Amino acid sequence: MECSFAITGKGYVIVAADTTAAHSIIKVKLDEDKIKTLSPHLLMAYSGEPGDTVQFAEYIERNIRLYQIRNTYPLRPSSAASWIRRALADSLRSRKPYSVNLLLGGYDTSTYTPHLYWIDYLGTLTEVPFGAHGYGSYFALSLLDRYHDPEASLEEGLATLKRCIDEVSKRLLVAPGRYKVKVVDKDGVREVEI
Amino acid sequence: MARRYDSRTTIFSPEGRLYQIEYAMEAISHAGTVLGVLAKDGIVLAAEKKVTGKLLDLSSVKEGGYGGSGEKIFLLNSNVVAGVAGITADANSLVNFARQAAQRHLYLYNEDIPVELLAQRLCDMKQGYTQYGGLRPFGVSLLYAGYDPHYNFQLYHSDPSGNYSGWKATCIGANNGTATSLLKQEYKDDITIEEAIKLVLSVMSKTMDSTTLGSEKLEFATLTLDPTTKKPKAKIYRPSEVDELLQEQGLAKKEEDDKSA
Amino acid sequence: MSIMEYNGGSVIAMVGKDCVAIASDLRLGVQSLSISSNFQKIFPVTDRIYVGLPGLASDVTTLHEQFRYRVNMYTIKEEREIEPQTFAQMVSSTLYERRFGPYFIEPVIAGMQRTPSGSYEPFIAATDLIGCLNFAKDFVVAGTASSELFGAAEGLWEPDLEAEDLFETISQTLLNAVDRDTFSGWGAVVHVMTKDKVITRTLKGRMD
């Protein structure tokens, strides 16, 4: 089943999401990228109802891009998070709401700080030091309560993330096999192997 | 014959000009002077009031509101103050529009509106009146003094055609040529807010019609960063505070002048 | 499962002698899973009004943003700050606008109301999720621990408490009530307001 995790550290946010695309009980794809790069310093991991997820993520991606083209600079992470939350909150009270859960990781280039936002399909938004969606969250959050360090280096952060993934693989009956991991820091967005 | 291309605001003359827009700008160059200077740690705005006299009821400006006497300098949002020159009634409607635009941005993005974006919002509206027929353009120029995290302190100017531009120091209204050349001579990069206040007041005292400055002729505002919260802090001076400031700078009028006012 | 209990959280407000206090927990959860221990449910409206918004977390943010917009527009148009009584009516009408598809929030309002003589008197009010106002003279409660809060407040509150005593009373009431509620807790925030200042304190409580 779908799992996504994200953790902040010293000057960075790591976002990880599984890469399986499923149709009921069947895996149909094993290398799906479920983390979109919204702007040079903004990452969004999305999960939820298949179809809704991609539609919604592309809608967000293009509107964030439009803002950047119109105003020459991109939205800051906190403003992007608020705007995305509003899109989901408005959708919730529409005829057919999007069922999409998000983890939004960004680096604010005007204050030089990393930010991570936990957003669910209801339009709940909260800034967190670490967050997770899916069944994996039941394992990862308690693990991160114990091991997360906001001042950790990138290597330490990736090691903590590895712990979460390993724990989920060990204990969760329907654990995903592979994950894609991306990092955002002052230099922008990049993918890392773990 | 000369009026053929004046009757509507949106008709080009054979030389390719929009006369009504040019008349609007001409009207502004007779309005009270508004001056803005950008410093490294803040911005200063000053404006010359035209509507004065001892019969004018100013009791409402002593307390409440945002400060100032509400003729030339307005708070558009917590991070932007504006000075207006031109038809005051038009200015009021633009100020109201700007405040709504700023609140709409806050509602959508949960952040104070970036200064340039606010200037753009107003200019989109002003430009509309140069293209869609039937209505007259806004006879107002504005100076926007603002702060945002993208470009820190900024000073913009917009005119009735919907053009806008960024400045280190600029002036609109009557005598803007004299004031601009004075600013050109005196302005230095990396000027501090204290130096900017001095500069603004000295230029104002030289360009205004009256020989002495006083709160009945002058509006004054600064925008700085609050040292503790690091948030922008706009201060529109109340009449008593303007007089106090002038006293400090040695530009206040002498006691005996009071009787003639 | 009720939507009102989905995210958890509680708010309480109390009247003292020339002061008011408003307090809430800081938990955000998804049913029994805790997501955040720093989710603010109380927001400043003016220097003399606070509003607490317990209920569905999505609507906490939506309503906070909407109240901020409406209050700012009011301040611009009226050129003065809104009074607690007026703000309470604004809250009520905002909620009743959605009478047949409500926001899942039960707001609590606390403030210092200006009297015609120019002095200030404490003001508290609460509404249900469709905006039915309840002006109380002692205390108001809302959220998943509301029944526990009622019990604790009934026993601890007394009239004419000074600011420091009111702080102690509201803190003890809240901390003890949320300990008996699975959906509230994870720390608390308390604001005590007098006519000229607000003291805000963050409390730790049982972090489990």
Residue A149 has a pLDDT of 98
A142: number of Cβ within 10 Å? 14
In this predicted model, what pLDDT tens digit does every residue of B53-98 receive, in sequence order? Answer: 778 777 666 555 566 566 899 999 999 999 999 998 999 999 999 9
Among B135, B157, B133, CA closest to B144: B157
CA A134 to CA A141: how far, in whole Å? Answer: 11
The answer to whether C10 and C145 have CB atoms below 8 angstroms apart is yes
Q: Do B114 and A78 touch (CB under 8 A)?
A: no
Mutate which of C30, C35, C69 to disrupt the A interface (most A C-beta within 10 Å)? C35
Q: Which residues pair with A184 in a beta bridge?
A: A13, A189
Alpha-carbon separation of residue C32 from C6, C59, C146, C179 (angstroms) = 9, 19, 18, 14
Which chain B residues are closer than 8 Å to A79 by Cβ?
Answer: 109-111
Phi-psi label, residue C79: left if phi above 0, alpha if psi -120 to 50, beta otherwise: left
Is residue B132 pLDDT above 60, yes or no?
yes
DSSP C9-42: -EEEEEE-SS-EEEEEE--EEETTEEEES----E
Q: B111: which chain A residues are within 8 Å (Cβ-Cβ)?
A: 76, 78-79, 82
pLDDT above 70: residue B253 = no
Contacts of B78 (CB under 8 A, 6+ apart): B112, B231, B232, B234
Q: Which run of H or E residues covers position B152?
A: strand B152-158
Provide the CA C3 distance to its chain's centre, in angstroms: 19
Structure confidence by residue, pLDDT tens digits, C141-194? 999 999 999 999 999 999 999 999 999 999 999 999 999 999 999 999 999 999
Amino acid symbol at C206: R
- Of the candidates A8, A3, A5, the one whose C-alpha atom is nearest the C-alpha of residue A148 is A8
Angle between helices B176-186 and B193-207 (to 10 degrees): 140
Cα C36 to Cα C33: distance, rounded to the nearest angstrom: 10
Place of tokens 């102690």: C168
Burial label, B135 (beta-carbon count in 10 A; 0-12, 13-18, 19+): exposed
Instruction: Report the distance separating Cα B163 and Cα C195, nearest Å.
Output: 47
Q: What DSSP letter does each residue of B83-121 carry, written as one string?
A: EEEE-HHHHHHHHHHHHHHHHHHHHHHSSPPPHHHHHHH
| Cα distance between residue C32 and residue C16, in whole Å | 35
- Separation between Cα atoms, residue C96 and residue C90, nearest integer Å: 10
Quick check: B106 and B114 in contact, CB under 8 A?
Answer: no
Encode pLDDT of A83-107 as tens digits. 999 999 999 999 999 999 999 999 9
Is the Cβ pair B149, A110 closer than 8 Å? yes
Tell me whether residues A126 and C57 touch, CB distance under 8 A: yes
Put simply, whether C30 touches A (Cβ < 8 Å) is: yes
Radius of gyration of chain A (CA): 16
Least Cα distance to B92 among B36, B142, B156 occurs for B142
Cβ distance A73 to B108 less than 8 Å, yes or no, reads no
DSSP code string of B183-244: HHHH--TT--HHHHHHHHHHHHHHHSSSSSB-TTTEEEEEEEE-TTT--EEEEEPPHHHHHH
CB of C72 within 8 Å of a chain B CB? The answer is yes
DSSP category for residue B59: G
In order along its 208 residues, chain C shows pLDDT tens digits of 899 999 999 999 999 999 999 999 999 999 999 999 999 999 999 999 999 999 999 999 999 999 999 999 999 888 899 999 999 999 999 999 999 999 999 999 999 999 999 999 999 999 999 999 999 999 999 999 999 999 999 999 999 999 999 999 999 999 999 999 999 999 999 999 999 999 999 999 999 8
Tokens of A118: 């936990």
Taking an 8 Å cut-off on Cβ atoms, the answer to whether A82 and B109 are in contact is yes
Task: Tell me whether residues C57 and A141 touch, CB distance under 8 A.
Answer: no
